[in-house]
Structure 1
């Protein structure tokens, strides 16, 4: 079992190494301080505690870093991290992305006293901006799409109105109330009242007879 796990682990590491090698950048040293990364010239301006490592730079470098004037590589837990900065006189990015704030970055985000290096990009690639014609075309497409969606949304409402069935008005006949119950109730009350009165009269007659 241990040998199988070891073989699987070695196979995974070999596969990982192949993928890293496939996506790795081409780094060529021209001198001790000058190098080419994917054909673009760079200069090592600072190499604190021998933090510069060519092989790790090949693995970690990304094309998104080519837009920065400076690249700082710092070490933490045996891992190389790359961070881009703009020139001091550049108007790009935020103030924290200026090379003047590199020391603040090292103190706040890096391990204390860690090894690091600074690369100066001599051939900054400018991001390609879209032409106005291309932007106008995209805006026109968006307007057409919005207008189409509006018309599509209105159609179902019209169809729903058409689909609604015709409902005829229901007529109800109003009948007069039957007053039989009320008449019965009144008659019973009258009868009860007459009975009570008749009962009271009998009591008075009996008293007169007893006195006589």
Structure 2
């Protein structure tokens, strides 16, 4: 690493330290068991293998942890990890988020025999609701205007009622019998024939 890279690395570390200092919390140890973080009191109920360190807690503490009843800090690879737990009586919390499952958490997620500590929050800070700007405002529709009913094709049939309709006469399905008229046949025409009379002569 040359001189220019070394100076650049030192500048990055200095900027990172300033950011951590700006967001760092104020941790004061008033007694063996009483800890004050950002003017909020906590009790140190467990400190297994001297896992509690003020300097690391100052760097790692976040305001989101103030809503939990207990804060557990465990060590792994020289890094402090913090996690919040609710009291056992909290019915809104999941089973895995309650403090009585601490042994299961240490067994499943922490290194075997690691150092850890437990803080009891004496002043729980409820998070303020954050308004979501993406939420659409509900518009109130006027009562007078109503949507027209949608009629599906070939599913609705309109029926009309006709008033003062005269009843139809019953139809006689029998066919009428035709009456035959007496038609006189014309007389045959007589033809005029010449009649001859043969007279016999007298033999006198």
TM over 0.5: same fold? yes
Give the root-mean-square deviation of aligned CA atoms.
2.3
Distance 1:129-1:18 versus aligned 2 partners, 3 A rule: closer
Query: How high is the TM-score relative to the length of structure 2?
Result: 0.63
Q: Deviation at 1:66?
A: 0.4
Higher alpha-carbon Rg: 2
Q: Deviation at 1:93?
A: 1.6
Q: Does 1:41 align with 2:36?
A: no
Partner of 1:123: 123
Partner of 1:98: 98
Query: How high is the TM-score relative to the length of structure 1?
Result: 0.61
Partner of 1:109: 109
Partner of 1:18: 18
Q: Render the CA deviation track for 1:88-131: whole Å, top value 9, x for unaligned.
A: 1122320100000011011111111111000000111123469x
Partner of 2:55: 55
Question: What is the aligned length?
Answer: 139
Q: Which structure 2 segments of 5+ residues have no match?
A: 142-204
Q: Which structure 1 segments of 5+ residues have no match?
A: 148-212
Partner of 1:81: 81
Q: Deviation at 1:10?
A: 1.3
Q: Does 1:144 align with 2:144?
A: no
Distance 1:11-1:129 versus aligned 2 partners, 3 A rule: closer
Partner of 2:3: 3
Q: Is the 8 A contact 1:86 1:92 kept in 2?
A: no
Partner of 2:28: 28
User: What SS does the aligned partner of 1:114 have?
Assistant: coil
**Alpha-carbon distance in structure 1 between the residues aligned to 2:46 and 2:3:** 46
User: What SS does the aligned partner of 1:103 have?
Assistant: helix
> Which structure features the higher share of helix residues?
1
Q: Render the CA deviation track for 1:7-44: whole Å, top value 9, x for unaligned.
A: 11111111111100000001111112111101100011
User: What SS does the aligned partner of 2:73 have?
Assistant: strand
Q: Render the CA deviation track for 1:45-77: whole Å, top value 9, x for unaligned.
A: 111111111011011111110010000000111
